[in-house]
Amino acid sequence: MAANLSPAADIGTRIMAWAHALAVHTEQPGMLTRTYLTEAHHGAAAQLTEWMQAAGMTVRRDAAGNVIGRYEGTEPGAPALLTGSHFDTVRDGGRFDGNLGVILPIACVAEWNRQGRRFPFAIEVVGFAEEEGVRFKATLLGSRAIAGTFDNNVLGNVDDSGKTMREVMAAAGFDPAGLPAAAHDPKKVLAFIEVHIEQGPVLLNEGLPVGVVTAISGASRFIIELEGLAGHAGTVPMDMRRDAAMAGAEIGLYIEKRCGGKPGLVGTVGQFNVPNGATNVVPGRAVFSIDIRCGDDAEREAAVNDVLAEIERVCTRRNVRAQVRKTHEAKSVPCAPWLQEQWAAAIARQGVPVRHLPSGAGHDSMAIAAIADVAMLFVRCGNGGISHHPTEIMTAADAELSARVFTDFVEHFQRQQ
């Protein structure tokens, strides 16, 4: 079989070892934290560069700090199939989120290089320098630079030490003025494919090692501030209360009900605060977040409209004032059907059932979709699907299978006609 990685049958073990080796580069001993352009970040970039070069790639870093390894095709300068993911992390994060999508392709390229095999197209593996938005509260910096959609306004964002992004980039030797040059020419990009752990429990619960992503969900986020009237918990009758917390709780339960039962639609109240609350005081204020996501924008927008209408109804009935502030809005990004089909065929050739599922998390693919068709392969993660946490895990067997699927995809890759 063309996708057989033998004699490098230990590729899964190698990928796991690389993931653990990359985790050494952290800002905080005892936990994995690697944010944009810190010493730990530079250390990880240097390690990725070393592995890429050993795999037979030429390596460069662009003005955003992305690490780009190019495995040339049979014809120098040929358009490239792009792949990769991010190598920054959340605070106290896991070892596979983002990182898997960089080191797995490097391992596969290393095997092709060992075989002396080239393709009619180039392969570029991108370690995106920043996706999580932890240090400067701006996400997808690396992939937006490559897509040519980098927002220069975020260069003024400051980190916890008061340094601006612009200052930190300059100190690291990256000239923000060079960011436009980091943009890839869409004519030179055949497609973008990303391998990523699922960050959820669906594949795990169904006993499946991999899945084909159908779309990356769009998201709407709000901060809701409710103002009622504080009062003594013992003296204000129940029917006279203007309880802001209970109004918020009722809204939260409505969100759970409205978003339940519709595949791919999820609603979350992730933060709920009662400022200056006390056990013997009827809450006069409540502040909470709302996060609604779906791979179908029409479904998401309908749910958002229903939730906003319910907020108004609940607050009117309870005599509570509401201030609604939208903090984020992103449209869904569908994965290209022609690429989904090729992922599915590669999975089937490994004798594995094909499962299609949406991604509720954001990914670099969302930004790259501005210049190329995108598609994703999800890989099962264990421990209940936990991610963005040190207990995030996956197995060497799943890493090896995913590498076989990725290899099969590339070896059978057909350009869009």
* pLDDT, tens digit (0-9, with 9 covering 90-100), for 185-230: 999 999 999 999 999 999 999 999 999 999 999 999 999 999 999 9
Residue-wise pLDDT tens digits, 399-410: 999 999 999 999
Sign of CA dihedral 153, 158, 162, 168: negative
85: phi then psi, degrees, rounded to nearest 5? -165, -165
Q: Which 8-state DSSP code applies to residue 377?
A: E
CA separation for the pair 397, 32 (Å, rounded): 23
Amino acid at 205: N
Write down the pLDDT at residue 391: 94
Query: For the whole model, what pTM was predicted?
Result: 0.87
Closest CA to 310 of 222, 238, 242, 248: 248
Residue-wise pLDDT tens digits, 44-98: 999 999 999 999 999 999 999 999 999 999 999 999 999 999 999 999 999 999 9
Domain covering 11-216+332-411 in this structure, CATH number: 3.40.630.10
Pairing of strands 266-268, 285-294: antiparallel
Residue-wise pLDDT tens digits, 335-344: 999 999 999 9
Task: Summarize the confidence of residues 376-405 as an average pLDDT.
Answer: 95
Residue-wise pLDDT tens digits, 243-261: 999 999 999 999 999 999 8
Beta bridge partners of 80: 122, 189
Task: Summarize the confidence of residues 134-152 as an average pLDDT.
Answer: 94
Write down the pLDDT at residue 329: 87
| Res. 4: pLDDT tops 50 | no
Write down the pLDDT at residue 5: 40
Write down the pLDDT at residue 360: 85
Distances (CA, A) of 96 to 33, 66, 125, 133, 263: 13, 18, 16, 17, 26
Domain covering 218-330 in this structure, CATH number: 3.30.70.360
Write down the pLDDT at residue 417: 74
How many other CB atoms are there within 10 angstroms of residue 38's CB atom?
Answer: 19
Task: Summarize the confidence of residues 238-242 as an average pLDDT.
Answer: 97
DSSP for 68-120? EEEE--SSTT--EEEEEEE----TTB-SSTTTHHHHHHHHHHHHHHHHT---S
Place of tokens 């179908």: 296
Cis peptide before 201 (omega within 30 of 0): no
CB-based contact 201:383 (threshold 8 Å) = no
**Tokens read off for 328:** 């984020």
Chain centroid, CA 149 distance in Å: 17
Write down the pLDDT at residue 264: 87
Residue-wise burial string across 115-152, b where 16 or more C-beta atoms lie within 10 A, e elsewhere: eeebbebbbbbbbbbbbbbbbbebbbbbbbbbbbebee
Contacts of 37 (CB under 8 A, 6+ apart): 65, 129, 135, 168, 169, 172, 174
Q: Which 8-state DSSP code applies to residue 393?
A: -
Beta bridge partners of 68: 60, 126
Residue-wise pLDDT tens digits, 12-53: 999 999 999 999 999 999 999 999 999 999 999 999 999 999
Write down the pLDDT at residue 393: 96
CA separation for the pair 118, 115 (Å, rounded): 9
Beta bridge partners of 140: none
Domain boundaries, the chain: 11-216+332-411, 218-330
375: phi then psi, degrees, rounded to nearest 5? -155, 155
Write down the pLDDT at residue 2: 36
Percent of the chain with pLDDT over 90: 92
Write down the pLDDT at residue 261: 83
Amino acid at 253: L
